[in-house]
Amino acid sequence: MKKLYEKNEQAFAIVWIVVYCVLQSFANPVNKKIGIEYSASAVFCILQTMILFTFIRKNHLQKRYGLCKSSVPACRFLYYVPLFILATGNLWNGAAVNYSLAETVCRIVCMLCVGFLEEVIFRGFLFVSIAKDNVKSAIIISSVTFGVGHLINLFNGSGMDLVNNLCQICFAIAVGFLLVTIFYRGGSLFPCMIVHSAINTFSTFANEAGITVEKHLIHLLILIFITVAYNLILIRTLPKNQWGIIKK
């Protein structure tokens, strides 16, 4: 793994994206065989998290990939209040118990790991590897790839329908642009990981009773508006990459 990383950082990022997507897809039929939703998914995510974290720490890449505290004061990010609002979006219609205890635990563990994995892979490996040559391209590619990557939910046996999947993709792309701004301008992936994990985890308890397609679209548009508005504020108020996360 280290040899591939040293030889071609972009190829390393792409390989991890493929591995992550394949394992997530493979996990769904295994979950059904076990009889506990997210059981195999949780195991695969834990293993990937351990491997990536060990690799980053062993090679002293924490600062390069944002596993460090931001040097920018929280007030410059509006104390991350908009992130808190986004994180609670899944609970605006109330909370509900949607899974058994075992399934709930497995899903929460899985969602927490996904927050780490997707941030490191898309905002870390992919963005940084491209940004060495072109930051604008890196921002666009990493954000769009992150969003479009959710298309896999249509084919991996998760049961998600086309409309919900397209909504998920649109929101994910908007969030992708916001989180890459936070990382690029702040030098830390921790805020991104926390809000990403929170959004995923709170979806476990989302109450979807009485939500029509129209309500769902309005809810989505509000979330996207908050995401885009917050991103524009940060772009206009924060200095550009002054913490050197692009350079090795």
Q: What percent of the chain has pLDDT over 90?
A: 79
**Quick check: is 177 in a domain?**
yes
pLDDT category of residue 155 using cuts at 50, 70 and 90: low
pLDDT of residue 211: 84
pLDDT tops 50 at residue 236: yes
On the 0-12 / 13-18 / 19+ scale of CB atoms within 10 A, 83 is buried
Q: Is 97 helix (H, G, I), strand (E, B) or coil?
A: coil
Residues contacting residue 72 through CB under 8 Å, at least 6 positions apart: 185, 186, 187, 238
**Quick check: is 86 in a domain?**
yes
Q: Give the structural domain span for 44.
A: 2-237
Specify the number of domains making up the chain: 1
**Quick check: is 248 in a domain?**
no
Cα separations in angstroms, 151 against 146, 199, 228, 245:
10, 18, 21, 30
Residues contacting residue 118 through CB under 8 Å, at least 6 positions apart: 20, 146, 196
pLDDT tops 50 at residue 221: yes
pLDDT of residue 248: 45
With vertex at residue 18, the alpha carbon angle to CA 28 and CA 39, rounded to the nearest 5 degrees, is 25
**Quick check: is 246 in a domain?**
no
pLDDT of residue 131: 93
Q: Which token pair is 62?
A: 């924490």
pLDDT tops 60 at residue 55: yes
Q: Which token pair is 189?
A: 């992936």
pLDDT tops 60 at residue 150: yes
DSSP code for 239: P
114, 158 Cβ separation under 8 angstroms: no
What's the rounded Cα separation, in Å, for the pair 61 and 39? 30
pLDDT tops 70 at residue 13: yes
DSSP secondary structure, 158-212, as one string: S---HHHHHHHHHHHHHHHHHHHHHHHHHS-SHHHHHHHHHHHHHGGGB--TT--
Q: Mean pLDDT across the chain, nearest whole number? A: 91
**Quick check: is 210 in a domain?**
yes
**Quick check: is 147 in a domain?**
yes
**Quick check: is 247 in a domain?**
no
**Quick check: is 244 in a domain?**
no
